[in-house]
Amino acid sequence: MAGHESHYILPRPTFDAPVKLLIVVAPYYKDIADNLIAGAKAEIEAVGGTWDLVEVPGALEVPAAIGLADRYSNYDGYVALGCVIRGETTHYDTVCNDSSRALQLLGLQGLCIGNGILTVENRPQAEVRADPADQNKGGGAAAAALHLIALGRKWGGQKEDVGFRPLTETIRLAGDNDGTPTA
């Protein structure tokens, strides 16, 4: 059973300057969400960090809220929390795949995100994973975000123009000073 396996856990990162994270949670299953939040808060506070918390209607809205927060606020990182339990329709697959994919795309743009959206077959699996005294996936998601923040600070923080550059800018950078490509 997966709940009884042991895994290596990285030591907590340390920070010279304070960190502030936004916890974004979809509390559809409130008791499970509350446990995920408790684990995330404890992990952030263990490194001397602070957090804000916002709730969204469902797992599909978590990445959108993180994208908005990145655009309009000033957080070092984000913790995505929620729970999707398989039902009778394919909606489960859509929610699991699309929320995960959206979080991954935000991460590839340079955001420091820990994904703690549980995707499980049944409620008992969710309860074990959310429990801070058991698998503590909320704490694990916060730890992932904190490790990414530490890497970002180690490598100089987020730079402008993270990601792909527009084609015109690429040509200008490859050419001489007047924008004409060189051979």
Amino acid code (one letter) for 20: K
Active-site residue (options: 4, 7, 91, 147): 91
Residue identified by tokens 């950078």 is 173
Please name which of 159, 182, 179, 160 lies closest in space to residue 168, comparing C-alpha atoms.
179
- For helices 30-46 and 137-154, the axis angle rounded to 10 degrees is 40
Per the CB < 8 A criterion, the answer to whether 58 and 26 are in contact is: yes
C-alpha 92/C-alpha 97 separation (Å) is: 8
Per the CB < 8 A criterion, the answer to whether 86 and 37 are in contact is: no
91 is catalytic: yes
3-state SS class at 16: coil
| Residues carrying an active site annotation | 91
